[in-house]
Amino acid sequence: MSRDVFKYNVVSIVIQTLIYTSIPLPGLVLNALTLYTVFKSLVFRQQATYLLLSNLALVDILNSNTIPLRLVLVYTTDFDLYRTICLVQSIFNPIVISTTGCSMLLVIVERYISIAYPFKQDKIFSTRKTILFITGSWVLAVGGTLSTRRNEVPLEPGDPCNITKLQIAFRTALYTFIVLLPMSVLWTRILMMARNERRKIQIQVISVMAAKDATDRIHGNTKLNAAALAVVGAFFITTVPYFCSQFVYVMFVSVTDSWISIKEVFVAVIFVNSVTNPVLFCWKNKTFQAALKKNIAKLRCYPN
């Protein structure tokens, strides 16, 4: 049995092809370097933000490895191969998206606590607790995906990648209320508080620390906040359109070739996060950027 590759919008296919061919290698290399840099440095390993972002880099590596399968889905004319890959993706993709969302939520919560409750940050997000939070996010993502998964029911003949509206609605609502809404509230709150962060931390910290320690803490928090806000902001830009399209579909739209084309483009855009996360974090965090350059130089000079 075969399927018509170009039954959907050709523009959609071109956009997907460009994204799926340009992301895998940079995504693997940049996120592998991020992991290497974090675990090579004792200072980074002891900070919750870097541990959380290294977990995000691990998720992005897994995400990059699945991109070639998405490209096969775009072009294969073999229906059996299409169906097999699609069923695998129907399990794996929600796990990756859920884990990414949980990781982003942990990052933004940790940054909020660093501003609002600076003296409780080290206690709430100690190294051990951060690792437990990361493990819990994986358990929640995998368990939530598997528990909400039902047998796929094609919405149209010959396309097993589409699932029931009820399943789409449930997953979209769950992700929106557990991940996107709390994250958006905290992101906005941090953005508003960031302007007053220097003065607030000075008042709270300088009374119990030396002036230099207080200044270092303020400067370090500012850099980490800027990096975290940039990463989470990019996540919103690439993820929210997909979930909005899912909501519109569930409420108003019937299955059409045009809707499937739009949905697939939004899915492809989500994968862009695999490259933007390490780039934005390095761009906004000069300390991490310097450590990354140092490690790259060491790798290039490593004797054969």
Q: How far is residue 163's CA from residue 161's CA, in Å, rounded to a whole number?
A: 6
pLDDT at 36 over 70: yes
Task: Copy the structure tokens of residue 285.
Answer: 């965090």
**The pLDDT of residue 210 is above 50:** no
| 59-113 pLDDT tens trace | 888 888 878 877 777 777 777 777 777 777 777 777 888 888 888 888 888 888 8
Per-residue pLDDT at 225: 75
- pLDDT tens across 169-202, in order? 777 787 888 888 888 888 888 777 766 655 554 4
Report the run of H or E that residue 123 belongs to, with start and end: helix 121-124
Q: What is the pLDDT averaged over residues 220-232?
A: 75
What are the structural domain ranges in the chain? 5-301
23-27, 53-57, 146-150, 163-167: the lowest-pLDDT one: 146-150
> Would you state the CATH architecture of domain 5-301?
Up-down Bundle (1.20)
Residue 281, pLDDT score? 81
Residues 32-53, mean pLDDT to the nearest whole number: 88
Residue 153: is its pLDDT beyond 60? no
- The answer to whether residue 130 scores a pLDDT higher than 70 is yes
Q: Are 63 and 27 in contact (CB under 8 A)?
A: yes
Strand partners, 2: 78
What is the reported pLDDT for 172? Answer: 79
pTM across the whole model: 0.77
CA 206 vs CA 111, 212, 225: distances in Å: 20, 9, 20
